[in-house]
Every structure is written in C-alpha cells, then in structure tokens.
Amino acid sequence: MQLPVYFDYAASTPVDPEVVGLMADCLRRPELAANPAALGHAAGRAAQALVEAARAQVAALINAQPDEIIFTSGATEADNLAVIGTAWFRQARGRHLVTSLTEHKAVIESCRHLATQGWRITWLRPDAEGLIAPAAVEAALEPDTVLVSLMHVNNETGVVHDIAAIAAICRRHDVLLHVDAAQSAGRERIDVRAGQIDLLSLSAHKIYGPKGVGALFIDQERVRRVSPLLFGGGQERGLRPGTVATHQVAGMGEAFRLAAQRLPDEARHVTALRDQLWSGLRQLPGILLNGHAERRSGHILNVSITGVEGESLFYSLADLCVASGSACTSLSNEASYVLRALGRPAALAQSSIRFSFGRQSTAAEVDFAVEYVLRAVQHLRSFSPIDVPGA
Amino acid sequence: MQLPVYFDYAASTPVDPEVVGLMADCLRRPELAANPAALGHAAGRAAQALVEAARAQVAALINAQPDEIIFTSGATEADNLAVIGTAWFRQARGRHLVTSLTEHKAVIESCRHLATQGWRITWLRPDAEGLIAPAAVEAALEPDTVLVSLMHVNNETGVVHDIAAIAAICRRHDVLLHVDAAQSAGRERIDVRAGQIDLLSLSAHKIYGPKGVGALFIDQERVRRVSPLLFGGGQERGLRPGTVATHQVAGMGEAFRLAAQRLPDEARHVTALRDQLWSGLRQLPGILLNGHAERRSGHILNVSITGVEGESLFYSLADLCVASGSACTSLSNEASYVLRALGRPAALAQSSIRFSFGRQSTAAEVDFAVEYVLRAVQHLRSFSPIDVPGA
Amino acid sequence: MDYSSEVARHFAAPRQAGTLPPGPGTLVRGEGGSVEQGALVVFQARIDAGRVVALAWQAYGCPHVIAACSLAAEKLTGCTPAELGTFEPLCLRGPLEVPALKSGRLLIIQDALRKCLAAWDNGDQRSPLNKRN
Amino acid sequence: MDYSSEVARHFAAPRQAGTLPPGPGTLVRGEGGSVEQGALVVFQARIDAGRVVALAWQAYGCPHVIAACSLAAEKLTGCTPAELGTFEPLCLRGPLEVPALKSGRLLIIQDALRKCLAAWDNGDQRSPLNKRN
Ligand SMILES: Cc1ncc(COP(=O)(O)O)c(C=O)c1O
Ligand SMILES: Cc1ncc(COP(=O)(O)O)c(C=O)c1O
C-alpha cells in the first residue's frame, strides 16, 4: 500500500486515465489548438465542436439541454454566478435570499457579499444531524424572496438534503432554487427536470475530471438569464466571457460521460468502504458520527473524537490524506463552521476527521486506516488530562 | 504543407510539447491529484509546491515577486479583476477611469459595466495608426481618477503602446496603471518594476500554454488590494477563490519559463515572416496596412483590402486560419471596433485580415498565403463593381 | 457562416459576371444597395426584339449575394423586360439555402433589376459601363 | 503547519507524561488553559527535601504544546520549587522552533507550573489524581 493513503476524494479526485488521455490528445493536436470562438475558420470550428460535444455530455448527466449549460472555471464560480447573478438580475423583484449555514463558502461568501450590497439573507440552521427541514425553507420565504440556494450533498458531512421536497415548495411559491451539486454530481442521480431545479452548480474535479472547470445549469424556461459577473468577449452566451478552454471542457465532458456509466457501481463501492470504516472506528470510545446516519452520500464519513485535540490528532494521522476540522490545516482560520452549525462545540469540531472515498480506494486501505486511527488516538489519550468514559 | 494553414496565433497558440508533457504528467500522477489548498496532508502540499513553483516562473518573466501573482481563469478574468476590482476598492478615492477605444473587450466591457454603476469613463481614441499619445492620457486625468487601463500590444493591429511614458505620467499623478499584456507577455520584454506598472494581465494560451488560465500581477507596495469579484474559499489571498487547477498553472509556469528563454529568437522569427508577408501582399493595389508601420509587435500583420466585401474575402480564404474584421465570423456582431476607432470606414474594417504568426509558422506558409490572397482578391475583383486604381 | 454547395459553386465560377460589350439592341443598367450597406450589385441587360438577350452583373457582397446574382442572371436571360420588374428574388432562397437573417439582402437584386426596367421604360440607352469608385 | 524534528521527537515519545504514583514527599498539582481555549495542561510535582524530585504532565493541545510540556518536565526535574514559578516557557521556543503565532500557547505551561508552586506554598497536599471530564 502506497503511503500516505488518499482519503480526500471530496476535496479532489485524481483525473480518470481516459480523461487524461483525451485531454492530452486535445492539447497535443495542433488542429485543435485554435480558439473555439474563432468560428471563421476550420480550426476554430473543430475546437468549437469539441466544446459542444462536452456541453451535451454534461447536460446529459443531469437531464438538461446542452444550451442550458454555461461552462465556468469551477463550482465556486458557478455558485457565484447563480447566487450573485440571479440576485442582481432579479433585484427589481426583491432583495431577499434564503440559504443555510452549512453551504460551501462559495455560496456563503456570495451571500455575505450581497448582504453588504443591501440584500437580506435568511440563514437556515440545520438540525443536529445536519439536515434542513423543507418546512424551514417554506417558513423562511418572504414576498420578495428571489432565490433559495441549498446544496445537495454537504461536502463535510456527506448528508443528502431533500431537494425534491424543497424544490416543490419553491415552485409552489414561484421562487427560484439553486442547488450546489459539486459533491453529488456523478455520485447521486440528478434530474433537473424531474427535480424541478432551476440552477445547479457542477465541478469536474470532484468526479475524476480536471480542476479549473465547472458549469452552471440555468433552466431556459424559468430562469433564462442571470447578470454576468465577468465582462468580455461574449462567450458562453454572454454569461461567462474568456476563451473557453477546449481541453478542460472536453475533459469535463468525458468525466461526466464516464460518471453516468459508472454511478451505480461506484456508489456501491464507496458505500461499502464507508460502512467498513465506520464499523471499525465506532469501537473507539468517545467517537461521534457527524451528520445524519442514513441520509448521507456514500463517499464521505465524518467523525469527531472526544478528548484529543484537533491539530495533534491530525498530526498523528500523517500517513492518511484526510481533511480535518482543525483550523491550522486549511486556508480558513476557523474550526469547521459546518460542524459548529450542527451544534458541535469548537473542540469537537476541531477534533473531526473527514474521510472520503473514491474509485481507487480499497478495503485494505480502510483496514489500515482503522488500525492507524485507533493507535493514534490511544497515544494521544495516553497523556490527555481528559477522561473519556470507556477509554 | 498542412491545409488550412494556421495564422491565428494571436487568438490562441498550440500548447508547447514540453508544456503538454508536464501537464499530462501532472494529471496522471495520483500523488499530485490532491487539492492544493489541502495543506494538512502531504498530497496537498505536493500540489501546492507545484503551484508555487509556477507562480515564481510567471513572476520571473515580468520581474515581479511571486506573491504579486494571482492566478485566474485567463486574461479576461485578470482584466476584470484589475479594472472592476480596483474601481470598487478605491471608490472612496474617486470614480473616474481612463481607458481607450481599442482595448480588448474584457477591459471595455468591464468599464462599460462600471459606467452603469456610476463611474465615469474617459475613452481615449487612438490616432489613425492606432497609437494613444501619452499626452492624451495626461490630459484625461482628473482629480478623482483612480485607474488608467491601457494595453501593451493591441490584439488586432499589433501596435505597441508607449507604456513607459504612460506609466511615468501615472506615477507623477499618483494614479494606478493597469496594462493588459495578454498579447505581449513572452513576445516583448516586460519589467513591471522598471516599467512602473501597477497591475498587469497575463494569459497562458497566447504563449504556448493552456487555455483557461491566466494571472494578474498586483504590485504589493502600490496596490496591495483590489476587491474580489468572486467569493469563496479564500484561495489566492482571498482575491480569487476556487480550487487552483494545479496542471493548468503548472502549464502556465512552464510556458512562461520557455517564453523567457526563447523570446529573442522567436521575436526574430515572427518578425521576419511578417515582413515577408507584407512585402508580398503590398503588391496588391488598394491594400492598406492597419496600425503603425514601425511601432508594432512582430507576430501580427493586419491589412484591409479595398473593393472586396469582407465576408466573401474571408470565405475565399478557407485554406488560411486567419481572423477577419467581418462581423459574421466572430461572436460579436459588429465590424472590428478597433479598426473603426482608427477611422477605417465600416467596409474597410470588414475587409480586413489579421495574420498572426508563431513558432510553427514557416516561410513556405507565408509564400503560400501571399499567392493565395492575391488569387482570391483577383477573383473577387473580377466581378466587383468597384474600381480600384491599379487593379 | 455555412454556405450551401450551390452557393459555393456559383461563388467559385459565377455565371454571366462582368459587363456586357457593346452590341446590337439596347443596353440598360440598374444598381441596388451600396458599399455602406454591405452589398452593392449592378445589373446590365441587353434588350433586343422584346427579349432580354443578355444579362450581366457585378457585385460587392457576401457569397449569398454573389451566388444570387449569378443564379438570377442565369434564370432571367431570355425573359421579357417586364419580367425584370416582376422577378421575385426571394425565390432564390430555396435553391441557394439562404438563411432567413440574410434574405433581406436579396432584395437589392430586385432593386437593381427594377432599375434596369425603369431605364428601359425611360428609353435610357446610355449604358454607363465605367466602374464606380 | 510544519513541526521541527525536536517537536516530532517529543510528540512520538513524550517524556514524563502521565500522572505520578503515590510516594514519599509532597505531591502538588496545577493546571493551565482549557479545552475551550484549545489547550489544557496539567502538571504534577513531587517535592521532597526542597527539590522537585519528580514531575509529570498531561496535555490536551497541539504538538507544540505537547513537546513543550515534555521538554519543560525534563528540564525542571531536580529544580527547586521556587524555580517552578520563575521558569520562562518562552525559552522553549528556540529549541522547539515554535512559530511566533503560537508562542502564546506556551504561557499556559507557566500557569500550570505557578499553580503547582502556589499549591506547595499553601501546603496543599491533596493531589487530585483523577482525570477531568
Ligand atoms: C459543495 C461544494 N461546492 C463548491 C465547491 C467548489 O468547487 P470548485 O473547486 O470547482 O470551485 C466545492 C469544492 O471545493 C464543494 O464541495
Ligand atoms: C489583449 C487581450 N486581452 C485579453 C484577452 C483575453 O484572454 P483570455 O482568452 O485568456 O481570457 C485576449 C485574448 O483573447 C487579448 O488578446
């Protein structure tokens, strides 16, 4: 087994070899080197054809039309375009948005920015298991609410929100719904039509595609337009300027095509590993599962360990590539705000570990992780002044 | 010779094989697959190290410090961040900007957006040869001017602006200067320190790097901060959120490293081809050079041909990948606004051809182009009702 | 922009392009459009014994305009002068596959042909063969 | 976060960690910090014949805090009780390469040691060996 073992698929996945092959080909072939906006010549049209094929592949995974897909530099930009772009475009209709405390920073910071510009934001707090009740969404709607932005699968806990119920409420009240599906696309089935989703953010690198490319689905009937955040040469229907990166979107298209094929097998694979990990780790006295026990996506397991400090815990896990709630290991300087919103005290939020699994994960790696974590916690507790019952 | 012949290096360049190799390697190696913001584990730090090495390479090409480089999704985003981000950040100081009618759309549309938000924009008009006089910049400054945004090399005509003189004026009046160097980086020498440039936009795909990645240089002393346009996880010093695409920025770094090495040879190569093309084409009666005859970068030649209509001209040139001023061949629906700003009538702006050269361009290709264009124009003129003296 | 193979054929080898040499009968001329509008066409017709015995054209315009001139000249050769005035250039849309957005441009051919007829009706026989600047 | 090799060594094999067993002399105890603050340390000292003959610690904290406890315990064993009060934990910054941002955390070691001294001064000999919840 190669050390450190990679358990951080929710942060980013290795690019699928087929996708790498296609991207390398695309980068290597001079006849595909043209700017896909250079429709005046054959080389430009060849690049453009690749872009459009990718758009169709991305659309297919979520049952959208190709012209409802706007390529962006990632889900962060897609989230910004959905939230800020919708808010600006519909400001005459109202200046109130509903979101939650456990969204990704891309949504949270977009909303906070809007708040500085005069919008009102209702921040929904999840229950202790990380779920937002659809009734809470309904209760938060006001006559001038223009957008509800809630994620599908939470990137820290893996809980799956009841988007269908929330969407039905939004339709009933004629409010637009934006869903951040960066963690769920390719892992959970998504149908924007059946699911009545108006805007949906996607990222390629969470599902074996390249980093630096994503997309925003914009329902043509219900949304039609949002205000662009960047200005330039009119690419992507004027909503997202800048030369479209042919190899990047082609890679995303291929990754999404593969994801559609592999989804059921892959979901089974990661769910089995997650269950194996949890049944190993739960022997540990004082270990807590973060997030709802059933309503969760298969690729994430998030636990908190009482009586050990986060940074030392994390330091003890050097042979595992995992994410931690510990402040010093991430770009932001706070303990996981997601776990805090679930009501975990700061210390428990910091002593959390997020394991996330993917195609290359194996049962042997999970066995190793169980033993390794048990040993590390035992060491830390051997000199801890805090009494953990059963330890 | 492979047909069509590619003469559109100013729109995009093929990725250098060494850059492709490095990118493919980066995409293929699972140990580099992590999110470079995952500083908590070894895999994340390995990715981060690649990103920082690339940052240093990009900085080196323009004599900046690595921490003055913010990676973006391209020069379009860099231009937006420079113009809109500076305007917002400094709005208390003033709400007036100076730019020109011949900037790239990324700057023009950013300024037009600001104009809708209450900023005043002074649009400088170039002379008939495409140049902006430094004195005109000085005359346009007002007490509340916060930014001058002018490009280094124009992407349509190839004219080189006197940035040094303009920068001196900006410093004298304590106004920030942003320079769009998408066309010049790697082709003309740039030294942001000696040149007194405060913000500078860069693109990778114009200089044999990948599409979809660029950078903004922000002088640490003079500018320090701009308001971000996108909000999220705090990457790139909080100025540009979203997972940094390791393979993309590594590709940009390598492309910039190679560009620094090859600049003098390459400039000689393209300049020779351009001169060869012009001495062949100028035999044609009624052909006009667009842009200043001497103050120009070597890789672009832009001509207008009187008495033939743009779309038909362009259609006749199917074996050449060139850019045209003709409306129907680009995403925008107007004849080249750059040539219009130089005073060319619409018809002449439409009957323009931009040839641009690069590493793979050859003298044989240029010979072919000369003959091919002469023949096409002769055909069009054979049934044209317009008399061209000498034709 | 895509062009049909019919347009491509006419563009590569336009029929009856150019000007008519002096000869028997009456030579009339009419033009439509302008360079500023993006298309300028000039038609010349030689009318003899109540028939358009020869027709020629010159065009500054996009490939659709050029192909339309070529096809119209071919179709109308041999018609009566009155038919120059009643010719409906939109009938060329189908054979040439002219996109809707561009069909308006075909109307300048109508203008030019009607001016030929008007010149004939006026008895105008001076045919200004010289090109314009 | 980078840790020096000295920190790594102490973290992997902390010296004098744990609690002191009952024995001769006087056992005193002091704590500093709290879980809420992110670091909690407990020191125990056995004082006999005017010397700190044994010292042990427990810590909930980051690797720097743990290494600092380990190193401080090692250094102070054998000192006088008064030296527990004058010990300057910032002197551990150098050997452990503690970054400036974190050096404040070392002060909780000072708090714990001073409380040991205060307990000694108060004649407090009840040493609450049981762990806290
Ligand atoms: C739920 C969620 N939304 C958005 C993002 C941002 O995606 P990207 O890295 O493509 O900007 C992520 C990942 O970082 C995520 O997990
Ligand atoms: C002068 C100039 N600025 C900006 C850009 C935009 O660059 P990018 O394609 O990286 O967004 C271009 C190229 O399109 C350019 O030529």
pLDDT digits (tens, 9 = 90+) for B244-282: 999 999 999 999 999 999 999 999 999 999 999 999 999
Fold of C5-22+32-121: Sufe protein. Chain: A (3.90.1010)
Nearest CA in chain B to C32: B385
Q: What is the mean pLDDT of residues A22-49?
A: 92
Residue A327 has pLDDT above 80, yes or no: no
* Residue D5: strand, helix, or coil: helix
Could you tell me how far CA B341 lies from the centroid of its own chain?
18
What percent of chain B has pLDDT above 90?
A: 93
- Nearest alpha carbon, ligand 2 atom 15: B182
Per domain, the residue ranges of chain B are 5-11+263-381, 17-258
Sequence-ordered alpha helix ranges (H) in chain B: 17-28, 42-61, 75-89, 105-116, 134-140, 163-172, 246-281, 310-316, 337-341, 346-350, 363-382
Exposure string for B283-322, b = 16+ CB within 10 A, e = fewer: ebebbbbbbbeeebbbbbbbbbbbbbbbbbbbbbbeebbb
Residue B107 has pLDDT above 90, yes or no: yes
The reported pLDDT for the residue numbered A335 is: 79
The reported pLDDT for the residue numbered D132 is: 39
Query: How far does residue A34's CA lie from ligand 1's centre (Å)?
Result: 29
Question: Which candidate in C10, C20, C35, C55 is best for mutational testing of the B interface (most B CBs within 10 A)?
Answer: C35
B-C contacts (CB, under 8 Å): 61
- Nearest alpha carbon, ligand 2 atom 12: B182
Pocket test for ligand 2, best of B76, B83, B150, B297 (most atoms within 8 A of CB): B76
Residue B10 CA, closest ligand 2 atom number: 16
- Nearest alpha carbon, ligand 1 atom 12: A182
Residue B49 has pLDDT above 60, yes or no: yes
Q: What is the mean pLDDT of residues A1-20?
A: 96
Residue B82 has pLDDT above 60, yes or no: yes
Q: Find the range with the poorest average confidence among B65-79, B195-209, B319-333, C6-20.
A: B319-333
Contact at CB, B383 and C42, closer than 8 angstroms:
no
As a whole number, the mean pLDDT across chain A is: 95
Residue A212 CA, closest ligand 1 atom number: 10
* Contact present, D and A (at least 3 Cβ pairs less than 8 Å): yes
Chain C hits for B384, Cβ within 8 Å: 58-60
pLDDT 10s digits, A228-286: 999 998 899 999 999 999 999 999 999 999 999 999 999 999 999 999 999 999 999 99
Tell me whether residue B111 is one of the annotated catalytic residues.
Answer: no
- Nearest alpha carbon, ligand 2 atom 7: B75
Residue A241 CA, closest ligand 2 atom number: 11
Contact at CB, B312 and C61, closer than 8 angstroms:
yes
The reported pLDDT for the residue numbered A390 is: 86
Sequence-ordered alpha helix ranges (H) in chain D: 5-12, 63-76, 81-86, 93-96, 100-103, 107-121
Looking up tokens 């979809």 gives B212
Chain B hits for C7, Cβ within 8 Å: none
Question: Which candidate in C16, C29, C62 is best for mutational testing of the B interface (most B CBs within 10 A)?
Answer: C62
Q: What is the mean pLDDT of residues A128-153?
A: 98
Does the CB atom of residue B81 touch ligand 2 within 6 A?
no
Q: What CA–CA distances, in Å, run from B71 to B202, B237, B316, C74?
A: 9, 10, 40, 60
- Chain A positions contacting chain D at CB under 8 Å are 307-309, 311-312, 315, 328-329, 345-347, 350, 382-387
From B374, B322, B321, B279, select the one nearest B2 (Cα to Cα).
Answer: B321
The reported pLDDT for the residue numbered C128 is: 45
Chain B hits for C1, Cβ within 8 Å: 311, 315, 328-329
Chain B hits for A234, Cβ within 8 Å: 105, 331-332
8 A C-beta contact, residue D110 and residue D23:
no
The reported pLDDT for the residue numbered D101 is: 83
Q: What is the mean pLDDT of residues B107-113?
A: 98
Neighbours, chain C (3 or more CB pairs < 8 A) = B
Categorize the per-residue pLDDT at B71 as very low, low, confident or very high, splitting at 50, 70 and 90: very high
Residue A72 has pLDDT above 70, yes or no: yes
User: Rounded to whole angstroms, how far apart are CA atoms B27 and D42?
Assistant: 49
**What superfamily in CATH does domain B5-11+263-381 come from?**
Aspartate Aminotransferase, domain 1 (3.90.1150.10)
User: Could you say which ligand is closest to the alpha carbon of residue A11?
Assistant: 1
Query: How far does residue B23's CA lie from ligand 2's centre (Å)?
Result: 22
When CB atoms are compared, the residue of D11, D62, D131 closest to A386 is D131
The reported pLDDT for the residue numbered D124 is: 59
The reported pLDDT for the residue numbered C126 is: 47
Categorize the per-residue pLDDT at C133 as very low, low, confident or very high, splitting at 50, 70 and 90: very low
Could you tell me how far CA A388 lies from the centroid of its own chain?
34
Categorize the per-residue pLDDT at D109 as very low, low, confident or very high, splitting at 50, 70 and 90: very high
CA distance, residue C25 to nearest chain B CA (Å): 23
Query: How far does residue B157's CA lie from ligand 2's centre (Å)?
Result: 14
What percent of chain B has pLDDT above 70?
A: 98
The complex scores an ipTM of 0.91
Q: Report D:49-108 residues touching A (Cβ under 8 A).
A: 57-63, 66
The reported pLDDT for the residue numbered D54 is: 97
Does the CB atom of residue B155 touch ligand 2 within 6 A?
yes
Categorize the per-residue pLDDT at C129 as very low, low, confident or very high, splitting at 50, 70 and 90: very low
* Contact present, A and B (at least 3 Cβ pairs less than 8 Å): yes
Nearest CA in chain C to B388: C133
The reported pLDDT for the residue numbered C101 is: 83
The reported pLDDT for the residue numbered B225 is: 92
Whether C38 contacts chain B with CB within 8 A = yes
Q: What is the mean pLDDT of residues C33-50?
A: 95
Contact at CB, C131 and B383, closer than 8 angstroms:
no
Does the CB atom of residue B76 touch ligand 2 within 6 A?
yes
A26, A111, A170, A328: which one is catalytic? A328
Question: Which candidate in B3, B231, B246 is best for mutational testing of the A interface (most A CBs within 10 A)?
Answer: B231
The reported pLDDT for the residue numbered B31 is: 87
User: Rounded to whole angstroms, how far apart are CA atoms B377 and B104?
Assistant: 29
pLDDT 10s digits, A181-226: 999 999 999 999 999 999 999 999 999 999 999 999 999 999 989 9
User: Rounded to whole angstroms, how far apart are CA atoms A353 and A308?
Assistant: 12
Residues in chain D: 133
8 A C-beta contact, residue A27 and residue B204:
no
Categorize the per-residue pLDDT at D126 as very low, low, confident or very high, splitting at 50, 70 and 90: very low
Residue A361 has pLDDT above 70, yes or no: yes
From D39, D36, D19, D20, select the one nearest D89 (Cα to Cα).
Answer: D39
What is the CA angle A48-A54-A60, rounded to 5?
A: 140
The reported pLDDT for the residue numbered B332 is: 55
When CB atoms are compared, the residue of B308, B347, B387 closest to C131 is B387
* Residue B18: strand, helix, or coil: helix
Q: Which residues pair with B145 in a beta bridge?
A: B96
When CB atoms are compared, the residue of D31, D61, D132 closest to A309 is D61
Residue C14 has pLDDT above 60, yes or no: yes
- Chain B positions contacting chain C at CB under 8 Å are 307-309, 311-312, 315, 328-329, 345-347, 350, 382-387
What percent of chain A has pLDDT above 90?
A: 93
Measured over the CA atoms of residue A357, residue A362, residue A365 and residue A370, the dihedral's sign is positive
As a whole number, the mean pLDDT across chain B is: 95
Does the CB atom of residue B183 touch ligand 2 within 6 A?
yes
Pocket test for ligand 1, best of A109, A155, A179 (most atoms within 8 A of CB): A155
User: Could you say which ligand is closest to the alpha carbon of residue A187?
Assistant: 1
Pocket test for ligand 1, best of A8, A203, A211, A302 (most atoms within 8 A of CB): A203
The reported pLDDT for the residue numbered B328 is: 55
The reported pLDDT for the residue numbered A152 is: 98
pLDDT 10s digits, B308-334: 999 999 999 999 999 988 755 555 556
Which residues form ligand 1's pocket by a CB distance below 6 Å?
A 74-76, 79, 104, 106, 151, 155, 180, 182-183, 203, 214; B 242-243
Within 8 A by CB and 6+ apart from A298, the residues are A158, A187, A267, A268, A270, A271, A274, A357
Contact at CB, C3 and B383, closer than 8 angstroms:
no
User: Could you say which ligand is closest to the alpha carbon of residue A76?
Assistant: 1
The reported pLDDT for the residue numbered B327 is: 58
Please check whether the domain covering A17-258 is classified as CATH 3.30.465.10: no
Neighbours, chain A (3 or more CB pairs < 8 A) = B, D
- pTM to 2 decimals? 0.94
Residue A151 has pLDDT above 70, yes or no: yes
Per domain, the residue ranges of chain D are 5-22+32-121
